[in-house]
């Protein structure tokens, strides 16, 4: 991961690459989920934090119905007519921009085209929500151009719709909500049913949040993600037959799953066990954070990993290996896979004086079978999305 916003400023890069001044620069962060995995689409609880690394979008209006995008990291540039974009004809990354533009247009933005420059500090395909960061920064920038600045939850919901409708990823609400609403220095506890949240100060008292990228791209993620959602719906149907008030696994306790484990499908019972225990762990982790009990927080993280590995089965050998390597270093309080799974990153809480040992252990013991060596990244909770420059 590169350091935040390397020079030149996206505003200047826009002027240089597009040949005229930009009108707005927006920034939206990626995220790492501390705990609460695969609970958001079950109307449960999540506890992510925003990264300090963001995606930046600089833009200026056009009046010819075309969107031209310069993607600096990909060294790619594309232009399409807003009437005429189609997923089949343009690279995958354009769907986030085309989707957000179309949804803003449907909500009354006066958008008749735009020049857009994108620069991202969030690694793509690492499970750190680079797509949510791109959607949110684009929505802020194009919304400003189109004179349609959305409220925070409206913005997050629009970006999630873009992901569903245009990228065909049936994700939950966590990534877009934390990218929009995070506060620097805080973890973000979100109740995905009521859509209410709490900023919990992440006081780490001599500890650091570490993110280690396995280098494995989550190739299976899309099909397995949809399958897990279906299995959760099937588990809900089982419990609803017994209690019509059950609308989501949020309404089921871990105890109830335990009681019924013998009379339900074995796989569904395991999926429901993960979701219900993970909801309990997330609330317990939030409570531990509020009272400064980092040891308990770390223990819950490690338990979360075992549940994701054994009951929800969304880990992979590389993630398990990293968890094992990092978890064995003295001073590491807890470690787990983070994000959708099947690749991407692990997240750990480690004592500051053990970071060098974590780096050495990963370097010596982890065989990078994916795209390259695993990097240990030290992170702090960053701020949510913002318009950085407007009316230039
Ligand atoms: C992906 C999705 C999120 C969430 C996580 C799993 O990151 O985008 O909505 O479901 O997986 O917790």
For residues 197 and 284, what is the distance between their CA atoms, to the nearest angstrom? Answer: 15
- Domain contains 5: no
Whether residue 211 is found in the same domain as residue 196: no
The stretch 153-182 carries a mean pLDDT of: 96
Within a domain: residue 167?
yes
Compute, in angstroms, the gap from residue 81 CA to the centroid of ligand 1. Answer: 31
Statement to judge: residues 356 and 214 lie in one domain:
yes
Residue 161 lies inside a defined structural domain of this protein: yes
Phi first, then psi, for residue 79 (nearest 5°) are -130, 135
| pLDDT score, position 149 | 84
pLDDT exceeds cutoff 80 at 1: no
Domain holding 186, by residue range, is 10-202+382-390
143/218 same-domain check: no
Q: CA angle, corner 115, sides to 69 and 63, nearest 5? A: 135
Task: Kindly state whether residue 280 falls inside one of the protein's structural domains.
Answer: yes
Q: What is the pLDDT of residue 269?
A: 98
- What CATH number does the domain containing 122 carry? 3.30.230.10
pLDDT in tens, 347-380: 999 999 999 999 999 999 998 665 567 889 999 9
- Is the per-residue pLDDT at 253 higher than 90? yes
pLDDT of the residue at 251: 98
Please report whether residue 1 resides in a domain: no
Mention every residue, 6+ apart, whose C-beta is less than 8 A from residue 179.
28, 29, 30, 31, 50, 129, 132, 133, 136, 156, 159, 384, 385
| Nearest atom of ligand 1 to the alpha carbon of 37 | 12
| Residue 239: CATH number of its domain | 3.30.70.890
179/248 same-domain check:
no
- Give percent of the chain above pLDDT 70: 96
Query: What mean pLDDT is predicted for residues 101-127?
Result: 93
pLDDT for 222 = 79
Q: Tell me whether residue 3 is in a domain.
A: no
Same domain, 157 and 30: yes
* Residues 386 and 345 reside in one and the same domain: no
175 close to ligand 1 (CB < 6 Angstrom): yes
Residues 218 and 142 in one domain: no
Task: Give pLDDT tens digits for 194-250.
Answer: 999 999 999 998 999 999 999 888 666 778 999 999 999 999 999 999 999 999 999
Same domain, 183 and 306: no
User: Predicted confidence band at 292 (pLDDT cuts at 50, 70, 90)?
Assistant: very high
For residue 4, tell me if it sits in a domain.
no
**Between 368 and 148, where is the model more confident?**
148
What token pair was written down for 172?
Answer: 């939950």
* C-alpha to C-alpha distance for 301 and 272, rounded to whole angstroms: 18
pTM above 0.85, yes or no: yes
Q: Report yes or no on 78 lying in a domain.
A: yes
What ranges in the chain are assigned the alpha helix state H? Answer: 10-18, 94-106, 130-145, 152-165, 174-181, 221-242, 254-260, 266-290, 294-310, 317-327, 355-365
Domain count, the chain: 2
**All residues at 6 or more sequence positions from 371 whose CB lies less than 8 Å from its CB, including other chains:** 215, 216, 217
Tell me, using a 6 A CB cutoff, whether residue 125 lines ligand 1: no
The pair of structure tokens assigned to 24 is 């707005």
CA-derived radius of gyration, the chain: 21
Within this chain, do residues 198 and 211 fall inside the same structural domain, yes or no?
A: no
**Lowest-confidence region among 23-32, 59-68, 156-165, 373-382:** 373-382
Mutation probe of ligand 1 site: the residue of 226, 232, 340, 343 with most atoms within 8 A of C-beta:
340
Q: 237 and 166 in one domain?
A: no
Task: Identify whether residues 346 and 267 lie together within a single domain.
Answer: yes
Q: Which of 339, 342, 344, 345 to mutate to test the pocket of ligand 1 (most atoms within 8 A of CB)?
A: 339
Residues 47 and 188 in one domain: yes
Q: Is 131 left (phi over 0), alpha (psi -120 to 50) or beta?
A: alpha
């Amino acid at each position: 991961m590169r350091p935040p916003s390397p020079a030149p400023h996206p505003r200047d890069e826009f002027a240089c690459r597009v040949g005229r001044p930009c009108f707005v620069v927006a920034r939206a962060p990626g995220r790492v989920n501390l705990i609460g995995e695969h609970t958001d689409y079950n109307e449960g609880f999540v506890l992510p934090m925003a990264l300090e690394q963001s995606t930046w979008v600089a833009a200026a209006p056009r009046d010819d119905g075309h969107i031209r995008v310069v993607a600096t990291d990909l060294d790619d540039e594309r232009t399409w007519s807003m009437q005429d974009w189609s997923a089949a004809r343009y690279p995958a990354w354009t769907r986030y921009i085309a989707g957000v533009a179309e949804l803003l247009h449907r909500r009354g933005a006066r958008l008749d085209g735009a020049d857009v420059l994108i620069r991202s500090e969030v690694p793509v395909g690492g499970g750190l929500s680079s797509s949510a960061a791109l959607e949110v920064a684009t929505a802020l920038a194009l919304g400003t151009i189109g004179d349609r600045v959305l409220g925070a939850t409206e913005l997050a919901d629009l970006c999630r719709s873009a992901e569903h409708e245009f990228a065909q990823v049936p994700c939950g609400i966590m990534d877009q909500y934390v990218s929009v609403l995070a506060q620097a220095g805080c973890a973000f506890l979100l109740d995905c049913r009521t859509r209410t949240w709490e900023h919990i100060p992440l006081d780490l008292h001599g500890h650091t949040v570490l993110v280690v990228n396995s280098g494995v791209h989550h190739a299976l993620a899309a099909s397995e993600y949809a399958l897990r959602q279906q299995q959760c719906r099937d588990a809900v149907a089982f419990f609803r037959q017994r209690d019509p008030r059950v609308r989501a696994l949020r309404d089921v306790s871990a105890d109830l799953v335990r009681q019924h484990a013998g009379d339900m499908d074995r796989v569904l019972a395991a999926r429901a066990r993960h979701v219900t225990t993970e909801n309990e762990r997330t609330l317990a982790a939030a409570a531990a954070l509020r009272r400064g009990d980092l040891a308990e927080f770390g223990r819950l993280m490690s338990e979360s990993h075992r549940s994701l590995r054994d009951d929800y089965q969304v880990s992979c050998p590389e993630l398990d290996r990293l968890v094992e390597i990092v978890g064995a270093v003295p001073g590491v309080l807890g470690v787990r896979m983070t994000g959708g799974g099947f690749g991407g990153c692990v997240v750990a809480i480690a004592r500051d004086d053990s970071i060098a040992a974590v780096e050495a252990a990963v370097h010596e013991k982890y065989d990078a079978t994916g795209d390259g060596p695993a990097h240990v990244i030290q992170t702090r909770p960053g701020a949510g999305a913002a318009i950085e420059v407007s009316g230039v």
